[in-house]
A and B are shown apart, each in its own frame.
Chain A
């Protein structure tokens, strides 16, 4: 066994411990989960710092500034520094200046995206509800019925979202509530169609525990689990119950 295989196996065992820790929250939030939750956030934050440095600050800022002599990048410190004024009560507004600029950019990019996203959707909604003539009759009816349903659902759903018309108004009542029903139907469908993907995720984890984690891990794991369970029950839980009896409940 070479050293890289050993590390892969250690990795798999670490992975198994982490996996079991996260699954334990399904039963109840517990110290074991809590510990790994903090480790998780620590790992993700640590990796995040590294990725931000490597992909953003180093690549786009430090490298051009120091290695290519583009000294003007040092001015970016002014922009980045503005964030840190939120800690000052008196000069808070400086961070607001930066946020204002960022808000503006956010709004601008939305304007740009709007036409690209929604115009094609509009033209794709032009369905012909007239039955086609040169195909077999049943096909023609099906095709035109599909288009009709599509247009009907689209229109009623959009009608539901009009805010300035009272839904109690006569013309709106039927349309809007029909729209809401269609919406609920669609939500049910979206829900149902997601189940399989999520179940396969769980199957993936089970498969990982069974076929990727070295077998020798399991006896130790079961032993450790029993031990921890006993310790938890006798020390922590007992103490807690004693405390509960002793003191009246607060907050």
Chain B
């Protein structure tokens, strides 16, 4: 990526040599100037500025998300939507029971023949829409390809005019074109569309083979057809999202890069905090100051060894194993793994204390934990492995499985909805600066 807007705004040209350093220095000065100006902002403008910053930043992601799809893919998208709908309809027509993969539609009873016929019709329709969508996507792909080539030519001309060096430009691996943000976005669009095309073809073939199996009324064939149809419907839904990016989507990676860099600067704050606290401990020789010395030693040795290992090409041969085997594998990962394994002990004492039949609630927790704990280990499984046939559902491993997939899953989902909506409300309050509390109420 050469620049955010390399071609239209010719100011943003990569530089090299002295000019680069001058500009970097100048931009640093501008940054500092900007910060100085900020210090002079009168206090009554401060709050609105913070609110505006919050609003604009939230807006970027919200709008990117809310705008459905680019102009060029609207038609293709609607075809795909129709195809998906018909696939689901076909799947349903040959499913005797919603959401249950078993059973079959018998053509002889209960309007079965009618249902199979309907499924065939729907599949044919889906096929039709899929081919229409493919046509449409192929058409816009050609257009985007042309755009891409044009943009590349422009970038090439640009490169020659400003004498950019090889290091400063990024080339795409396959066709040696210069890549900047715009060409990159176009290239991605072309390849996305190409991929969508081949995916459509794949799904279409699967659908047609499923259609051939539809008239076979055996349960296994029907189940196979159902699986194919449902997978194809999911596939089509995926294709729709893959071609639905809009004019803001391409700015997401650079935005997240900028964000990462700004975040990266904050590591200094954290380390500074650690170093001052431990520095004070040492300076004042507080009790346990030798621990702080150990902290400093570990921090410095680790950081120095890591940097040497990465960047010092002609380092003596002990540097690499010293860092990798002793500091990283030996010390750091052992400490992490052991700290993690402490949970094994704490889980015992916590269970012992908490699972008491004081109340219905803790008794219930205890019962569920008992069954699940026994249902996973061989000893527990062996306790009830004698149950066969009609009683096999009473086996501990089966009950354990049922608890985890039915009531547990449902309860987790019920909570997840609440947390999702709660988060949404919170996000909304933040975005519109409606949040209250000491931090947010303070005058600036």
Contact = CB atoms under 8 A, between A and B. Distances in A.
B417 A133 contact: no
Say whether chain A's binding surface is mostly helix, strand, loop, or mixed.
helix
Interface string A189-227: 111111110110110110010000000000000000000
Contacts of B173: none
A174 interface: no
Nearest to B219: A134
Contact of A184 (B4, B266, B365): B365
B264 A104 contact: no
Interface stretch (B94-102, B133-141, B142-150, B208-216): B94-102
A186 B62 CA distance: 35
Nearest to A50: B306
A56 B416 contact: no
Interface residues of A, number: 143
Given A34-B291, A50-B303, A66-B20, A45 B274 contact: yes
Contact of A185 (B295, B321, B333, B368): B368
A71 B367 contact: no
Interface string B301-343: 1110011001000000110011001111111111101111111
A112 B61 CA distance: 7
A100 to B, nearest CB: 4
Contact of A100 (B54, B376, B420): B54
Interface string B1-19: 1111000000010111000
B431 to A, nearest CB: 4
A182 to B, nearest CB: 5
Interface size of B as a range: 35 or more
Contacts of A184: 361-362, 364-365, 368
Contacts of A77: 27-28, 31-32, 265
Contacts of B54: 100-101, 103-104, 107
Given A65-B24, A69-B20, A198-B344, A38 B331 contact: no
B238 interface: no
A114 B424 contact: yes
A112 to B, nearest CB: 4
A83 B269 contact: yes
Say whether chain B's binding surface is mostly helix, strand, loop, or mixed.
helix
Contacts of B57: 100-105, 108
B31 A186 contact: no
A79 B407 contact: no
B382 interface: no
Given A45-B274, A94-B39, A189 B302 contact: no
A16 to B, nearest CB: 8
Contacts of B104: 134
A91 B257 CA distance: 27
Given A35-B291, A42-B297, A56 B264 contact: yes
Interface string B401-429: 01110111111111111101001101110
Interface string B261-289: 11111111111001000100000000010
Given A107-B428, A134-B97, A153-B410, A22 B416 contact: no
A81 to B, nearest CB: 6
A64 B404 CA distance: 50
Interface string B29-64: 011101100110001001001110111111111101
Contacts of B3: 70, 72
Contacts of B427: 106-108, 110-111
B266 A187 contact: no
A90 B362 CA distance: 53
Contacts of B169: 68
Contact of B344 (A61, A192, A202): A202
Contact of A4 (B16, B39, B325, B362): B325
Given A12-B330, A128-B98, A189-B372, A112 B295 contact: no
B292 interface: yes
Given A11-B329, A112-B65, A201 B340 contact: yes
Given A4-B321, A46-B306, A108-B61, A14 B331 contact: yes
Given A15-B334, A184-B365, A198-B343, A38 B298 contact: yes
Contacts of B251: none
A39 interface: yes
Contact of A97 (B49, B65, B103, B290): B49
B103 A80 contact: no
B335 A79 contact: no
Given A38-B295, A149-B406, A74 B411 contact: no
A38 B329 contact: no
A41 interface: yes
Interface string B124-136: 0000000000000
Given A15-B333, A180-B361, A186-B368, 6 more contacts: A40-B339, A46-B300, A48-B267, A67-B167, A158-B414, A160-B414
Interface of A: 3-4, 7-8, 10-16, 18-19, 22-23, 25-26, 34-50, 52-54, 56-57, 60-61, 64-86, 90-94, 96-98, 100-112, 114-115, 117-118, 121-122, 125-128, 130, 132-135, 138-139, 142-143, 146-147, 149-158, 160-161, 179-196, 198-199, 201-202, 204-205, 208
